[in-house]
Amino acid sequence: MKPDLSVEIAGVPFKNPILTASGCCGYGEELADVFPLSKLGGLVTKSITREPRMGHRPPRTAETGGGMLNAIGLANVGIDRFLEEKIPFLEKQKTTIVVNVAGSKIDEYVELCARLNDQPRVDMIELNISCPNVDSGGIEFGTDPKLTEETVSRVRKVFSRPIIAKLAPNVTDITKIAIAAESGGADALSVINSVLGMAVDPETWQTRITNNKGGLTGPAIKPIALVAVDKVYNSACTLPIIGIGGIATASDVIEFMLVGATAVQIGTALFVQPDTPVRIVDGLTEYLKRKKMSSIRELIGKVRKY
């Protein structure tokens, strides 16, 4: 019998635990040229804001040791064009659709989510309250427990389907933010967003990206992400966790699930090997067969600690 890769988060079914990470596959159309999106457990769109954003001027990405530094600046088409141009494509996809939203004020999150609530094909929203590479909004909502709770609470009043809060690693105690998100009415957590970083060219003395600082992603942050997931899973917070950070192989996914993640998001690896999600799904199937396990859910939280 083929192992069961399905998981469930806040009542929403996923055929497997593999989602894309926001900002790493646009609105899905780009990735659909590589493999059928139906092979994904879920697709997370890039962040949507109220107004269109051009983002930061190039260069806005830089390769680092074991990762990538980026400060895209939430470039996107804005909510009006998203609803007009992107939703029709997403409505046709046979996978769970998660729309990531961002704002510089709580009112913007509320407005965006109220409009998305009218779109039945938006299965979940992910609140980007932790972006490290914009000057206004972004990270401060996810570093202050009171702001986190208020943001989620106000969105909860206008969005009737599950809400995911995306948490930052750049905090003193991520469990306090997780508990605040749960208190505000969040249904799940994405752990973690990118780690604040910087890169400099030693020959020119010039910073490598125009925003000077940005978000570090890729394998370099996997240990940071794993410990964050472990902390949240073993805290007073009871919400399901979607693990993010340097995931590129089936083994990476297994590590995240063992420390408490129910699902994961794939980001930077998509730029290296766009069909990574398909390879991972195949790898997970083979792993479960080798371990004689019937369901991937048997892995969740089963890490053995010294």
- The closest of 50, 156, 160, 166 to 112, measured between CA atoms, is 50
Report the distance separating Cα 176 and Cα 171, nearest Å: 9
Report the distance separating Cα 293 and Cα 256, nearest Å: 17
CA angle 36, 293, 17 (to 5 degrees): 35
DSSP state of 60: -
Report the distance separating Cα 136 and Cα 49, nearest Å: 12
Active site residue 131: yes
DSSP sequence for 195-230: EEEE-B-TTT--BSSTTSEEEEESGGGHHHHHHHHH
Decide if 17 contacts 264 (C-beta within 8 A): yes
Catalytic residue selected from 25, 113, 131, 237: 131
DSSP state of 298: G
- What count of other Cβ atoms lies within 10 Å of the Cβ of residue 6? 14
Report the distance separating Cα 218 and Cα 268, nearest Å: 5
Burial of 35 (0-12, 13-18, 19+ CB in 10 A): middle
Report the distance separating Cα 206 and Cα 176, nearest Å: 37
First to last CA, the chain: 34
Catalytically active residues are 131
